[in-house]
Structures are given as structure tokens and as C-alpha cells.
Amino acid sequence: MIEHDVLAIGAGPFNLGLAALASTVDDLNVAVLEAQPELRWHAGLLFADATIRGSFLTDLVSLVDPTHRLSFLAYLADADRLYPFYLRDRFRPTRLEFEDYLRWVASRLPSVRLAHRVEALRWDTRLERFTAHVMRGDGTRLLMCAKDIVLGVGTEPYVPEALAGLPGTRLVHSAEYLHRLDRVDGAGRVTVIGSGQSGAEVALDLVRRNLDGGPAVSWLSRSAHTGGSPETCTPEYVAYFHALPEDRRYELLREQRRGVTPGTLSDIHELLYSRELQPGLSEVELRTEVVVRASTVDTAGRAVLDCLHTDTGTRFQHRTDLVIAATGYRERSPHFMGPIRQYLRRDTRGRPHVRLDHSAELDPRVSGRIFVPHADGHSHGTAAADLGYGAVRNATIINAITGRECYRLPKNTAYRSYRIPQNGG
Ligand SMILES: Cc1cc2nc3c(=O)[nH]c(=O)nc-3n(C[C@H](O)[C@H](O)[C@H](O)COP(=O)(O)OP(=O)(O)OC[C@H]3O[C@@H](n4cnc5c(N)ncnc54)[C@H](O)[C@@H]3O)c2cc1C
């Protein structure tokens, strides 16, 4: 049996960041197990010009240790691209280069093991360790163990029930968009559903194709494309959110959606404007306040969406050749967690109770800890999915695991005050 202090499952940005910060802590032995043989970061939406939402400071380490050897700036210097990046005068890395940065980090960390899929996780009461059954890409089976686990298995594409009436040939999730361009190009009309950043980026790409003589485009969304306050992603707000009553937290989660970046909206506007003097192009239709309630196919095999215009209560049908569901992602509920689920303490909605340090509350018979960065949105708010919060969360986890302050956490993070007002004081 191979023993480590920590087994981190999944090597997306969050667990890679954990491995990066742990690499400078001498007495912490972490193994990061990634199922895929190579690192990819949302490949189906990797548009050449798309940028990450924040600046390069939202890399894996800088917001807790800007001098770290695995910062984005260190990567640029190593690739000798520091100067071109500086002269570009825009501080948001493209998503393509952010993916390349992730690979660069992984290649410098012996703790990251690609092609290692965790198939089962158990608590061994005799050893007082979690044991992980791991399948390597070459077919070898390994048994690994650790006192603490960090689950960084990410999310999975979500398609709402209202689209269940569509066959696979008429429906593509936005996560697969760039892998399904043959279907896009072969359609007469493509309809995007969803008002988040993915929906906007797909709509932008479709309008570009439309200008080149591509299909008609409809973008239907429930809400206007506005964003929330960036301070909801600060550690101060996270601590405030974590202390709120359960019902209020769930209410706020429904209200606090990350909107579309102003740059993407302005790019779409610019393209629509440039269509004005180009006759003969297929139609482009942008509609908000629309909820898709059900879906089916007509006798010709086209997709038919049963829609509601929420401001007026009007119901209408929308026909299209292909639907791109930019309907978001849901927490993964990994199969390998089966034997562990009995130990998780849950809230009234059946979600795990997650402490402020991101560990799940477990049955007292289990002396190890499971940290759940893949499933702490309900306890820590919208920051949970934010790259910029990742370094702070990982530093918090490392401090909790080692029982000392390996990393000093930033305290001055928000201008709004999130302390609960005291009566009479
Ligand atoms: C298109 C897109 C763009 C985004 N851009 C931004 C942005 O600019 N800024 C921002 O703040 N946030 C952004 N996000 C949100 C968030 O930062 C990302 O979703 C981020 O990838 C989450 O990282 P993660 O480590 O949790 O999971 P993931 O990146 O999903 O990685 C999880 C990993 O776990 C592995 N895994 C799963 N099961 C197993 C198993 N059994 N054994 C071993 N490995 C396993 C998977 O193969 C995967 O590699 C974006 C999200 C999307 C969808």
C-alpha cells in the first residue's frame, strides 16, 4: 500500500493549486490523482481569443504568495513571453494560455499523477486511513492510502428536464460546442439557451459564423445579462456567507449568478452593428425573459421549444435545427464515494455540512478529513467556483491539514463590511 499525507482527487485548477502550494511545505506529502492522461481545461469552449475572467493574479498561487515559483508570471518568464504580455497592456490571460500554464505547473510537480483514476474510496477503521483503489492508464491497479482527502473532481454539464424531449442529434451542451462544429455548420438555425458566460461566448461565435454566411442564430435567456458584485468572491464575504442560516444561503445562491463579462457583451454588440450594412445574412435573434418549459421534435424532425415570455405570460413555440444548452454545470457526485457517503453529516436539503475550512463534517468514528472544494457552493457561496478564491481555499486547507499557519491568509479583502451589525453597539 502506498501511503501519503493527502490524496487529492482530480487535477483541475483547484487541486493543481493545492499541489503547487503544498510543494513548498516540507513535511506535507501530497499525491494528486488525475483520471485523464493529459490535462485539458474546458476544451469544448477553448475559443482562441477567450480570456479568463480575472487578471493573471487569479493564478494558482499569487493571491496568497505572489513570490511563488509557480505563479503565472514565473510561467511567462520561463516561456520568455513576459515582455509581449506586458506590452499587450491587458492583464487577463487567454484561456488557451491559462491551460498551457496549468500544464506547465503540472509538469513541475512530481506529486501530480496523470492517468490515475480513483475507482473506490473507503475508510479503514483499523488503519485509520482512507484507502483509494486506483486504476492506472496502463491497466495497473494501485492501493493508496492517506489520512486526509481533497476532492477536486469538478462539475459536470447539466441539461434541464425541459430539454429532455430532444434527441442527441438536436441537442449539444455548450461544454461540447467546439467538438460539434460539424452539426453547427450543417444547421439552418442554431439556438443558444442560457444567459451565463458560456452562452454569451457561444452566441458570439455563432454571430461571427453568421457574418461569414453561417446559420441563423437565436439566443434565448431567462434573465438579462448582468453580473453580481465581485466582492461576493472575497474571503470576507465567504466567511459571512458561511455563517448565514441555511435557508438564506440557498436563497442567495439563486440570486447571485455570475453574469457575462462586459467585454463579451460589447464584442457581440460590435458584431451585430457590423451586420447592419450586410444584406442577405440569415437572421440573428436575441431574446431575454424567456423560459423554455418543454421540448419535442416536429414531423420534419426539427426541435420545437415550448417557451414562456415571463414579463407578459405569453407562451410561444420556437423551431430550430440545433439547440446549444448553455445551461451550466452541477456538482459531480462521484461513484467512488459510495462507501463514504454514510459518514457525511448533511443539512436539511441532503447536502454535506461543510466547515469554514472546507472540510466536510463526518461521523466521529472517522478521524481523517475530507475537504470538498468540488461541493462547497452551498456553504461558501459563488466564490467556490472562482479561480481567484482557489489559492485562498487551498492555503486554508493546507493550514488545516498541517495544524499551523503555513500560509498567511489575506484579511483585508473587501470594502463592504460583512460583520453582522450588533444591536446597541
Ligand atoms: C468554460 C469555463 C470557463 C471558466 N472560466 C473561468 C474563469 O475565467 N475564471 C474563474 O474564476 N472561473 C472560471 N470557470 C469556473 C472554474 O474555475 C472552473 O470550472 C475550474 O475548472 C474548476 O476547477 P476544478 O479543479 O474544480 O475542476 P475541473 O477543472 O473540472 O477538474 C476536475 C478534474 O477531476 C478529474 N476527475 C474526475 N473524476 C476523477 C476520478 N475518479 N479520479 C481522478 N480524477 C478525476 C477530471 O478528469 C478533471 O480533470 C470556468 C468554467 C468553465 C466551464
Q: Find the CATH number of the domain harbouring 194.
A: 3.50.50.60
When pLDDT is averaged across residues 66-76 and rounded to a whole number, the result is 98
When pLDDT is averaged across residues 402-407 and rounded to a whole number, the result is 97
353 lines ligand 1 (CB under 6 A): no
174 lines ligand 1 (CB under 6 A): no
Report the run of H or E that residue 200 belongs to, with start and end.
helix 197-211
C-alpha closest to that of 315 among 344, 288, 293, 285: 293
Question: What pLDDT was estimated at residue 233?
Answer: 85
Give the mean pLDDT of the chain. 94
- Within a domain: residue 263? no
Within 4-127, where are the H helices? 13-22, 72-78, 82-88, 95-107
When pLDDT is averaged across residues 6-28 and rounded to a whole number, the result is 97
- DSSP code of residue 54: S
**CB within 8 A of 341, min separation 6: which ones?**
none
Whether the CA torsion 7, 12, 17, 20 is positive or negative: it is positive
Residues 31 and 104 in one domain: yes
- Within a domain: residue 92? yes
pLDDT, tens only, 258-303:
678 888 989 999 999 999 889 999 999 998 889 999 999 999 999 9
Question: What pLDDT was estimated at residue 346?
Answer: 96
Question: What pLDDT was estimated at residue 228?
Answer: 58
pLDDT, tens only, 321-377:
999 999 999 999 999 999 999 999 999 999 999 999 999 999 999 999 999 999 999
Atom of ligand 1 nearest to the CA of 117: 42
pLDDT, tens only, 379-397:
999 999 999 999 999 999 9
CA gap 292, 232 in Å, rounded: 29
When pLDDT is averaged across residues 150-167 and rounded to a whole number, the result is 97
Domains identified in the chain, total number: 2
- Within a domain: residue 234? no
C-alpha closest to that of 41 among 66, 58, 16, 63: 16
C-alpha closest to that of 341 among 319, 315, 310, 372: 372
Residues 197 and 96 in one domain: no
328 lines ligand 1 (CB under 6 A): no
Residues 107 and 143 in one domain: yes
Distance between Cα 218 and ligand 1 center (Å)? 28
| Residue keyed to cell 447539466 | 158
Q: Which three cell numbers stand for residue 134?
A: 486506483
- Within a domain: residue 171? yes
Residues 11 and 136 in one domain: yes
- Within a domain: residue 255? no
Distance between Cα 15 and ligand 1 center (Å)? 9
Distance between Cα 136 and ligand 1 center (Å)? 21
Residues 163 and 141 in one domain: no
59 lines ligand 1 (CB under 6 A): no
Question: What pLDDT was estimated at residue 354?
Answer: 98
Give the end of a domain, one of 325, 341, 359: 325
Residues 183 and 63 in one domain: no
Tell me which of 40, 99, 153, 332 to substitute to probe ligand 1's pocket, judged by most ligand atoms within 8 Å of the beta carbon. Answer: 153
- Within a domain: residue 112? yes
- DSSP code of residue 420: P
CA gap 377, 340 in Å, rounded: 20
Quote the percentage of the chain above a pLDDT of 90: 85
Atom of ligand 1 nearest to the CA of 39: 49
- Within a domain: residue 257? no
The answer on pLDDT for 227 being more than 70 is no
Residues 147 and 195 in one domain: no
Distance between Cα 383 and ligand 1 center (Å)? 14
When pLDDT is averaged across residues 1-17 and rounded to a whole number, the result is 97
Residues 213 and 111 in one domain: no
Residues 321 and 388 in one domain: no
Which 3 state secondary structure label does DSSP give 128? Answer: coil
Question: What pLDDT was estimated at residue 262?
Answer: 83
Question: What pLDDT was estimated at residue 226?
Answer: 54
Residues 83 and 147 in one domain: yes
pLDDT, tens only, 175-226:
999 999 999 999 999 999 998 899 999 999 999 999 999 999 999 988 765 5
Residues 111 and 25 in one domain: yes
CA distances from 286 to 118, 225, 412 (A): 43, 11, 41
**CB within 8 A of 383, min separation 6: which ones?**
232, 233, 234, 235, 237, 238, 241, 389
Which residue's CA is minimally distant from atom 37 of ligand 1? 153
Distance between Cα 309 and ligand 1 center (Å)? 33
Distance between Cα 332 and ligand 1 center (Å)? 11
Boundaries of domain holding 337: 2-154+332-402
Residues 122 and 66 in one domain: yes
Question: What pLDDT was estimated at residue 96?
Answer: 96
CA 200 to chain centre: 16
Atom of ligand 1 nearest to the CA of 233: 11
153 lines ligand 1 (CB under 6 A): yes
- DSSP code of residue 289: S
- Within a domain: residue 418? no
Measured between its terminal Cα atoms, the distance across the chain in Å is 58
Tell me which of 15, 18, 34, 91 to substitute to probe ligand 1's pocket, judged by most ligand atoms within 8 Å of the beta carbon. Answer: 34
